[in-house]
Amino acid sequence: MNARHLILLSPYRLPTQSTLYVGDDEVAAFLNAYAALWHPAALALALPAVSAEPAPAPASDLFDQDSPPSEALPEEAPEGEMAPDYGYSSGESAPSADAAFANLPALASPYDHEQPQPGHVYAVPDVPPLMLPDDWEERVRAAGAVAFKATADRAKTLANLKTALSSLPDEGTARLLDLPPERVAPFLGIGIGFLQIEALFEAMSHDNVLATAEVGHDVASALAALEGPEPNDYRPSLQSAADRLLAAREVVYAVPIYLVDLALLDADRLDAPWPPALSKGQPCNLVACSALLERLGKEQPERLASLRELLAGDLVEVCGGTYVEREDALLPLESQLWNLLKGQDAYREQLGQDVKVFARARFSFHPQLPLLLQTVGIGRALLLAFDEAVLPAHRSPMVSWPSLDGKQVDSFARAPHPADTVQTGFHLAYHLHQTIMQDQAATLALLHRGKAPAPWYDDLLELSRFAPVLGRWTTLSGYFNEVMTGDYTSAASADEFHGDYLTERAGGGEQGTPSRYRAPNPVSAFARQQRGRRRLDAAWALAALLRSLGGQVGAVEGQPFEEWLRKLEDRFESQQDPTPEQLLQAQDLAAAALAQRLIARGQENNPGFLVLNPCSFARRVALDLPGVAAPLPLAGPLKACQIDGGTARVVVEVPALGFAWVPKTAGPAAPTISGRMRLADERCVRNEVLEAEVDPATGGLRAIRDVRTRVSRMGQQLVYQPGSTMVAKSIQTNSTGPAYGEIVSEGAILGPQKEVLATFRQRFRAWIGRPVLDLRIELFPTAPPEGYPWHAYYGARFAWRDERALVLRGSNGIASVTSHTRPETPDFLEVRVGRQNTVIFPGGLPFHQRHGGRMLDVILVTPGETAQVFELGIGLDREHPMQTALGLVSPVAVVPTDRGPPHVGAAGWLFHLDAPNLVMTSLRPAAGGAGVTARLLECAGHGGPAQLRCVRDPVRAAIVDARDAVLLDAPTQGDAVQLEVPANDLMQVRVEFA
């Protein structure tokens, strides 16, 4: 029988040192054509028949760069039998056995085969059309050759091959045409390895030392073994071929190549099959939040059980860390920590172990994330965005990712290639060459996200079952254990992290494609989340203050208060939407219990109001106290009072983590209150710190000035993007003092044709003694915005005078210089000119867009937004803007009392933090015992010593992590805990009392 030659006709070759831009269909047809030529039926036409005994695999040292591989000796025919016939006549000189076994599938240019050669099998991709003679198919038949079409569909290509080969006279291959796919797949795996290794030699500019003839001999032995009685008799021969491919690859790269397989658990397709690697016994990494695993356990418990078995066998690594996938980077710090801690608890419950590698399917990274991960006990992370979000660029696959305080997590930063596209398989040798040449450990990552992998991926898995020719599959924990960090980077800035949450939530996009994360109220939901979170924090803080006094809040609904509050917190954070009344109830229960303890020894029959401050800084708060008929004396904590129809509008100064008591009646000897200054006139509201002028034409803010320099700092208008005009219809002064000044403007936002797009009502209010202008915006669109949310929205536009001004944004409490066109922050935006700073407090609204060098929009209403009322603020010369930002969204508990003041005085503190650069984000009763746990965030970028003074002398203090594990003891002196807080650090202190 004459040996046939297996030829792929194509103008393309695998990319090696540069990428090649070819259409998906063309690439798929190319790969499928080559794979089809490795079908056993085709190989049997090309390779000589041999016995089933595999040739011995050579040691890797035989493949030396300077000497060719040893040649295999030709087979000797047993006595009484004829030698194998390789199809050459007696008049020809027969080639060596090596030449015969080297007759493996090859690539060729169509121009070299315009005249088909006898005894050839041609694979012809259907795209691109080859430049061949019009009668080329007739020439193929005339020459006794065979040609078949290769398409983008693997199954159809193999069917075309079988049809073409079945038309041949029976050459002993008919039995191989109907082999089951599982017996064909290993040959295709060897084929892709052969193709990629040859391309890798070219990419590395190295002589090809692949023992082609020996590989061919092994493949021929495997073909012979297909006839054996055992179904897997052929595998040892293919194992030998794979070992030869591995030995050849080790000539150019002798250490392991790592293959990291990543799969995202799809919330919409929980019943989707596990990644194919698992069925082939290769490790895989699954990215899933614990809430998805909980759903999986409820809906498909058998799949969760199988996942636990795979996890126990180290075949899969579940990467995660959070309970729910949401926009954590724009949420309060306490919400982020809840998500991590709740997630860890849920992983232990569902999987029986902690998550070792942090990962998210949805982007939510920020500069302080390594700090939070270390706080909850996670030291490894997947620093990848699986969407179009922006992350810092890293050239090394493994980096040490630091936060601003210096804490670091080892992070995998190699962007994965999609396993479902043929382009990845086409460029595989190129990617291998790049990582071999550039990385300290060659690493290739592949990604699965909802689509079936391309056929080349299955070929790669089949090859890997024999030997790690193109790489060894590994879990991320295994990778971290074996590979050293290749890059130690500096802390990234907030601008280096950006995810387009607005487009996700508002939907639409420039192409009109709806987002899977589309949510109601895409903008105002963040403000509600922040205010609800602060109310929960207030309830916890008040309960902790009571614990420090030796008291405890009573049971609620038959449960201990702390357990009930923890369940309420879980419902709130997991977006099960407890009502605002329930959150208020939690705060009021804790406040009432604390107030009862504080005024237990107060003067009887002396009604008043006890104001409780859950924040770690002193606040001047504006309150409405009902049932007060006469002005109250300005004494002690009361700084201003104004009576409006039986309600007292007051400004009360409340110590940090303390209380202030205000009487309900003035008493017979109460002094008459006289206004110190007129707080509003026809166009301006003012106090001791600022003056705000309302524009009579637009109804917006014409200027805000400090009273010392009288220089205009900033102006404001309401706008509709892309274009509008703000027109005032009325401006009314509602209050001139003595507690506050207030001006209200009403009008419309007009479009280019003077049509009314929306009506508005803006309230400007300045309280005596408070350094912030309160801005309340009520917006009623008649033409709701539609389309791309960054191009179609209603917003509050702020403008300043100097284009050279420095703009900073708050990122989890820490100010960071920003030049981003769309800086996202719910905390504050600071415009700094020299020593002056003007701060915009968006009140939890996170989306902003800059225009030029001196204008910025706070986005209010986008497609899908239904909120109509927005609370903002403008502050002047705020040294610690995060304190002001927290104060604006934090509640103050006011408890009416029938006695008072407390026996220690009208005002006092229960805990005192002496460092203004520290913000206490949380104060909670400690788990077990009579103690509290405080969480402190350094916000100014400079560390140093600090004292936390307590209402009672502590018996012990310790620095703990977020899971309450003791890290080190903290020294105490009297009522003070001595602390040393690093810059930008998050510290947790547990204080225990007798």
User: pLDDT at position 70, please?
Assistant: 37
Q: What is the per-residue pLDDT across 83-94, written as a single tens digit (0 to 9) for each?
A: 333 333 333 333
> Residue 406, by phi and psi: left (phi above 0), alpha (psi -120 to 50) or beta?
left
How much is the average pLDDT of 712-731? 95
User: What backbone phi and psi angles, to 5 degrees, belong to 726?
Assistant: -95, 125
User: pLDDT at position 3, please?
Assistant: 81
Angle of helix 24-36 relative to helix 154-166, nearest 10 degrees, comes to 40
pLDDT band, residue 231 (cuts 50/70/90) = confident
DSSP track, 259-318:
EEEEEEPPTT-TTSPPPHHHHTT--EEEE--HHHHHHHHHH-HHHHHHHHHHHHTTSEEE
User: pLDDT at position 64, please?
Assistant: 41
pLDDT band, residue 513 (cuts 50/70/90) = very low
> What does the block give as tokens for 607?
């009604």
Number of H helices, E strands in the chain: 22, 46
Q: What is the per-residue pLDDT across 428-452, written as a single tens digit (0 to 9) for each?
A: 999 999 999 999 999 999 999 888 9
Q: What is the per-residue pLDDT across 514-534, written as a single tens digit (0 to 9) for each?
A: 456 788 899 999 999 999 999
Q: Residue 374's Cα: distance from chain center in Å?
A: 17
Residue 871 has pLDDT above 80, yes or no: yes
How much is the average pLDDT of 550-566? 94
User: pLDDT at position 60, please?
Assistant: 42
User: pLDDT at position 239, please?
Assistant: 97
> What does the block give as tokens for 424?
């990845």
User: pLDDT at position 63, please?
Assistant: 39
Going edge to edge, which strands form the sheet with 408-412? 380-382, 408-412, 398-402, 487-488
Beta-strand pair 443-448/258-264:
parallel
First vs last C-alpha separation in the chain:
97
pLDDT band, residue 628 (cuts 50/70/90) = confident
Q: What is the per-residue pLDDT across 6-36, written as a single tens digit (0 to 9) for each?
A: 999 999 999 999 999 999 999 999 999 999 9
Average pLDDT, the chain: 91
User: What backbone phi and psi angles, to 5 degrees, belong to 93?
Assistant: -85, 115
pLDDT band, residue 80 (cuts 50/70/90) = very low
Please give the Cα distance from 854 to 831 (Å, whole number).
9
User: pLDDT at position 900, please?
Assistant: 84
Residue 58 has pLDDT above 80, yes or no: no
Burial of 417 (0-12, 13-18, 19+ CB in 10 A): middle
Residue 79 has pLDDT above 70, yes or no: no
Q: Is the peptide bond between 663 and the residue preceding it cis, with omega within 30 degrees of 0? A: no
Q: What is the per-residue pLDDT across 753-779, written as a single tens digit (0 to 9) for each?
A: 999 999 999 999 999 989 999 999 999
How much is the average pLDDT of 206-221? 95
How much is the average pLDDT of 619-637? 90
Identity at 243, one-letter amino acid code: D
Radius of gyration of the chain (CA): 37
The percent of residues in the chain predicted with pLDDT above 70, rounded, is 93
Identity at 827, one-letter amino acid code: D
How much is the average pLDDT of 134-155? 95
Burial of 515 (0-12, 13-18, 19+ CB in 10 A): middle
* Residue 219 to residues 43, 62, 242, 404, 464, Cα–Cα distance (Å): 8, 20, 10, 57, 17
- Angle (CA) 809-812-813 rounded to 5° is 70
Identity at 590, one-letter amino acid code: A
Q: What is the pTM of this model?
A: 0.91
User: What backbone phi and psi angles, to 5 degrees, belong to 694?
Assistant: -90, 135
Q: What is the chain's percent helix, strand, coil content, to nearest 5? A: 30, 30, 45
Burial of 692 (0-12, 13-18, 19+ CB in 10 A): buried
User: pLDDT at position 73, please?
Assistant: 36
Residue 712: CB atoms within 10 Å: 15
Q: Which residue matches tokens 């790690």? A: 468
Q: What is the per-residue pLDDT across 938-985, written as a single tens digit (0 to 9) for each?
A: 999 999 999 999 999 999 999 999 999 999 999 999 999 999 999 999
> What does the block give as tokens for 955?
């018996």
DSSP track, 826-858:
SS-EEEEETTEEEEEE-TT--BEEEETTTEEEE
Give the three-class secondary structure for 22: coil
